Structure 1
Amino acid sequence: MPPTHHLTAWDDPATRRAWAKLVTCAFLGQALWPAVWLGLLAWYVVMSISWTLWLFFVPLLYTFYRAFLQPAYISGAFHTRRLLRAYPWQVFKEPESGIGDIPGATAGDVWLRFPDPEQPAETLPMILQAHVRSMWWRRRLGRGYTTEKTAQVREVWFAGDPRFAAVVAAPGPRRFHVIRQRPTNDRGVAHVRGASPAAVERARRAGVCPPDPNSTTS
């Protein structure tokens, strides 16, 4: 059962253990991926004959990509912790999800809907951005039918505010993934959508930067 009785998700020991594993893997990747790339490059230079170009091109390209991407994994882990420290876990059984067909989504975008905390009858979609860290979720959501994979996200743990940002997790918790409300104004941040001052301040403590409610920028 999820630790919904805690004031924040971070108060749960299992959540802290899962986050420690996440950040450890992020730091290990920061050390290992560049080392693997340099090792492959050195091996290619030493063994430089024509056929090795094709043998090493894909591994070199992939390891360089992962080495370049790894700092974002580290910053993402610490953003995850800020959200977990600010919000409690909520559990949603079979939350509505889909692919495309909502405003702001392209044909291949996967999305989830969660209730507005201040207007529970209204739900807000949050679109999963397409990148390596979202692949596990994208392969299991929005299918409209049940498979062994989609059954793994029949229950979704949620810590955050759908008007701003949140951490979603598979039961456990595991497979932490940060999702954000899509930017809707020229400063690259989501509208407050009628959130109370307390909700806006909580989002700021969680590392989100909602617009100033007193701003006239739309």
Structure 2
Amino acid sequence: MAYPVHCKTAWQDPMTRRAWRRTAVLRCAALPAWLLGFLAWLFAVVMTPAWLLVLWLPVLCVGIWYTLLAVIATTSLARTRRVLRVYPWQVGVAEAKPKENGSTRFVVSDPERPEKTVSLGHGGLIGTRGHFWVRAVKSGHVTETWFAGDPRYLGVVAAPGPRHLLWVAQREATDSRMPPRKKGVSPAARAMARAAGARVGTD
């Protein structure tokens, strides 16, 4: 599968923009679907005997959890686009590996020290075992991975095409309670990561 080597950033590639729009439609459709599910749950509670509430409460908890996952997936769309507007696609630098806890680990070469690697995780939460990147990596269906970003901070992973865009990040690149990474990163790399939305600290 060829990839857009002529594009300075992944977002300049028309196929990448189409993949992002397709991802946006699917994720935005999932959220109202869960909200409609809540209305169906409420109707069922009203129309059935009160003693059945003990059965309906677990259904509500599951629905709330999956709705939160849908909200998180939807809010990552803007972050995904921001990364794609800064970094180009790279092939042959990332390897997807399954973990025993039901998550996926993306092992990516360090941009400034190719002999070393950096890991980015995805999944491991209740309800994420059915996600494409957990299922496909565990089954061995995915053998090649595209990556755009800086694994020391954040990035976007995609199946060749690109398909199944996934935003991933190191915790210190997004969590204000943790000190941002500075050691071993050049000023130019930190500037790009900042433009992509990562916390890199002050110079």
Smaller-chain TM-score bracket: 0.7 to 0.9
Matching residue within 158, 165, 176 for 2:154: 165
SS in 1 for 2:172: coil
Q: Distance in 2 between matches of 1:136 and 1:76?
A: 16
> Is the CA contact 2:190–2:200 (under 8 Å) kept in the aligned structure 1?
yes
CA distance in 2, matches of 1:4, 1:133: 32
Aligned to 1:38: 39
Post-superposition CA distance 1:116-145 (Å, at most 9, x none): 11122222222334234574323444x6xx
Match 1:136 to one of 132, 138, 145 = 132
State which of 176, 181, 186 in structure 1 corresponds to 2:165: 176
Asked if the contact 1:111/1:126 (under 8 Å) is kept, the reply is yes
Residue type of the partner of 1:4?
Answer: V
- The answer to whether the 8 Å contact 1:30/1:71 transfers is yes
Which position in structure 2 is the counterpart of 1:16?
A: 17
Amino acid at match of 1:90: Q
Q: Which runs of 5+ in 2 are unaligned?
A: none
| CA deviations over 1:82-120 (Å, ceiling 9, x no partner) | 0111111111277273637xxxxxx76642221111122
- Note if contact 2:96-2:104 (Cα within 8 Å) is conserved in structure 1: no
Instruction: Please tell me whether the aligned partners of residues 14 and 173 of structure 1 are also in contact (alpha carbons under 8 angstroms).
Output: yes
Alignment partner, residue 211 of structure 1:
201
Gap regions ≥5 residues in structure 1: 101-106, 144-148, 214-218
Partner of 1:92: 92
Larger deviation, residues 166-175 vs 56-65: 56-65
Q: Secondary structure at the match of 1:78?
A: helix
CA distance in 2 between counterparts of 1:98 and 1:43 reads: 39
**TM-score, normalised by the number of residues in structure 1:** 0.77
Instruction: Give yes or no for the alignment of 1:73 onto 2:62.
Output: no
User: 1:121 matched to which residue of 2?
Assistant: 115
Q: What's the offset of the Cα at 1:153?
A: 1.8
Contact between 1:8 and 1:88, CA under 8 Å: does it hold in 2?
yes
Note the 1:57-68 alignment, pairs <5 A: 57-68=57-68
The percent identity for this pair of structures is: 33
Q: CA RMSD in A?
A: 2.8
Partner of 1:200 in structure 2? 190
Q: Is the Cα–Cα contact under 8 Å of residues 90 and 147 in structure 2 kept in the other structure?
A: yes
From the superposition, tell whether residues 190 and 154 of structure 1 become closer, same or farther in structure 2 (CA, over 3 Å).
farther
Q: Does structure 2 retain, via aligned residues, the 8 Å contact 1:133–1:177?
A: no
Instruction: Note the alpha carbon deviations across 1:146-178, whole angstroms, 9 max, x for none.
Output: xxx31x321001010011101111112112112
Q: Deviations over 1:3-33 (max 9, x none)?
A: 2331111111111111112122232233221
Higher mean C-alpha displacement, 69-78 vs 6-15: 69-78
The answer to whether the Cα contact below 8 Å between 2:110 and 2:118 also exists between their aligned partners in 1 is: yes
